[in-house]
Structure formats: C-alpha cells, structure tokens
C-alpha cells in the first residue's frame, strides 16, 4: 500500500514510523524545518519498550507525488487548510483520506474540497509527544486507529486499511459507526482540554485538590450531554473509562492543546471547544463550564493575534 502521512509530528510520525517499519511504502509530507531535522537525525520513536529509528522518505508541498492509496492526515486543525492545498495533487480517484484530527468539523471541509468519495472517518488513540530534539516519545500503551466509511457501510478499502494497520502493530478494531466514534473521542478530549486548561495543571494536579474530581465529572457530563443530543450517546463503558482517566490521582496526563497553551502557542481551541459549545447552543444543551473554558482560550488567542503572548 502506498501511503502518504501528512505531518511527521507526535501522531503522524509515530503511526508512519510503525507502518514504514512493517514494510509499507510510506512518504511523509513535511515542512522544510521538520524535513531538515529528519534528514539530520532520522525519525526516532522511543518509549513503552519501543525503539524505532528509520530514514524516512520525505516529500514537501508541491512535490508530494501521487496518487496514493492512503493519506493519513495528522495535522493540527490550525494547519488544515494549508495541508489540504498540499495534498490535493496526491489524491486520485481511488485514494482514501483518513483524518486523525479531534472533533468533527473538519469532515465538512474535507468533503467539500476532496469529494465525499475520498474521505473516511478517523480516530487516533495514542499518547505521544514531540521532544525538543525532534524525537517522538510514546508515553502510554494505546496505539489505535479507527476508520470507516462516513455512511457506515462495509467496504473493501476500509478492510484493506485496517489490515495494513494491524500488520504494523496498530490496533484497528471494526467500527460500526465511525462518526459516532469520532464524537465519543471528542467527548473525552474536550473534557480533558477544558479541565487542564481551566485549572492550568495535569489531571493528577487537578485531582489532588478538593473539588478537582467533581469538576472533571461535571465537564464529562456536559460533553456527553452534547453528544447525546446530537444523536451519538456515549456507551457506559466509554464514559466509565473517561471518568476514571480524568479523575486519576497522580496522573501526568495533559492534552497537546494544553501544552500549546502553556507554551504560548496557537491552539486548536475553536475546533475542539468552540465548535462543541456552538453545537450545544443549537441543540439547547447548557454547557456553562465548557463555555468558560472556550472563553478563556479565546482570550489566549486574542492575545497572540495582538502580539502579546
């Protein structure tokens, strides 16, 4: 399978490295700065008993080649429009594009730009970060990609993609409704983002003080209520996992959006939180805590836009 991984950061770099190591024909579409670092050091993944080091096949905007069988779109939402312009020449009539972004708003953008036939749903479950030296650190066990047709029908291309992922040690269980799965991941990540960004701390630090666990459960209730009103109720087992994760004492867990916030960088706040609160308003669901978190992040983005990090 000929695969283009758009981005070689913590998510795309990890999954792309796994696929390339397993023998798939993987190219990484990267910016010049990242390309220079990868050419000098290679693509390295470490952590959780894993050590990968490869010389990646790199392509840049305007020279992506194609068409590819599979495009893994692993950029941040803030870079989506630029990435779309870069990958259009790489998408042919039989190309499948699997986005690994949080939320669901990007689906409309992708379908409008690339056509409904090219776009699958996608969910990534992995805990990785990009270190200062450009290496990828894997911090927890999950290595999962869920994918499926947006209309939930069975398809041979989804089966082929899942097979390639499995051969690379990437779990890819069948998903009966990938859009629902994307909503369920959104419930988890938006509650985690709101919790850590409001409290400016890790999950463990928030839960170390009185009221921390109660705040976590209240945020989960709000996010889950929006999903249910949208027609995608979260299964009890997933809600239990989310609650356990976000109320875990001593947990060092933070989302990448929180790490961008404390670093004074732009965030995906509009894509993750603002979009969810707007949908909540349209559905008549009250989300006062999520509204507060979204407002705080909008202030952060306003400061950046004004040149005041």
Reported confidence tier of residue 66, pLDDT bands at 50, 70, 90: confident
Q: What is the pLDDT of residues 39-60, one digit of tens each?
A: 999 999 999 999 999 999 999 8
The DSSP string of 153-219 is ---HHHHHHHHHHHHTT-B----S-HHHHHHHHHHHHHHHHHHHHHHTS-HHHHHTSTTHHHHHHHH
pLDDT over 90 at 280, yes or no: yes
Reported confidence tier of residue 62, pLDDT bands at 50, 70, 90: confident
Cα distances from 40 to residues 28, 55, 109, 298, in angstroms, run: 15, 9, 35, 37
Reported confidence tier of residue 63, pLDDT bands at 50, 70, 90: confident
75-100 average pLDDT score: 95
- Are 2 and 70 in contact, with CB atoms under 8 Å apart? yes
pLDDT score of 65: 84
173-178 average pLDDT score: 96
pLDDT score of 60: 87
Supply 238's token pair: 């997933």
164-180 average pLDDT score: 97
pLDDT score of 306: 95
Reported confidence tier of residue 85, pLDDT bands at 50, 70, 90: very high
pLDDT score of 96: 98
Q: What is the mean pLDDT of the chain?
A: 96
pLDDT over 90 at 61, yes or no: no
pLDDT score of 23: 97
170: left (phi over 0), alpha (psi -120 to 50) or beta: beta
pLDDT score of 308: 87
pLDDT score of 145: 98
pLDDT score of 309: 78
């Amino acid at each position: 399978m000929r695969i283009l991984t758009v981005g070689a950061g913590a998510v795309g770099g990890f999954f792309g490295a796994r696929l390339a190591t397993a023998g798939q024909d993987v190219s990484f579409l990267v910016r010049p700065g990242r390309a220079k670092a990868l050419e000098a050091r290679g693509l390295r993944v470490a952590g959780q008993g894993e050590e990968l080091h490869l010389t990646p096949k790199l392509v840049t905007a305007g020279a992506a080649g194609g068409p590819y069988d599979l495009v893994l779109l692993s950029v941040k939402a803030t870079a989506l429009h630029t990435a779309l312009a870069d990958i259009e020449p790489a998408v042919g009539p039989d190309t499948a594009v699997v986005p690994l972004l949080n939320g669901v708003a990007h689906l409309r953008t992708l379908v409008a730009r690339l056509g409904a036939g090219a776009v699958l749903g996608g969910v990534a479950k992995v805990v990785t970060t990009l270190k200062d030296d450009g290496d990828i650190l894997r911090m927890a066990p999950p290595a999962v990609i869920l994918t499926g047709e947006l209309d939930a029908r069975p398809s041979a291309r989804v089966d082929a993609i899942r097979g390639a992922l499995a051969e690379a040690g990437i779990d890819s269980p069948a998903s009966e409704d990938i859009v629902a799965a994307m909503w369920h991941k959104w419930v988890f990540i938006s509650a985690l983002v709101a919790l850590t960004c409001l409290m400016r701390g890790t999950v463990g630090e928030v839960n170390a003080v009185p009221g921390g666990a109660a705040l976590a459960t209240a945020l989960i209730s709000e996010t889950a209520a929006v999903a249910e009103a949208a027609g995608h109720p979260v299964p009890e087992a997933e809600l239990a996992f989310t609650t356990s994760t976000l109320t875990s004492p001593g947990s060092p867990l933070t989302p990448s959006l929180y790490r961008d916030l404390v670093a004074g960088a732009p965030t995906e706040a509009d894509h993750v939180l603002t979009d969810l609160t707007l949908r909540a308003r349209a559905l008549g669901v009250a989300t006062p805590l999520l509204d507060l978190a979204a407002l705080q992040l909008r202030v952060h983005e306003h400061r950046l836009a004004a040149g005041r990090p």
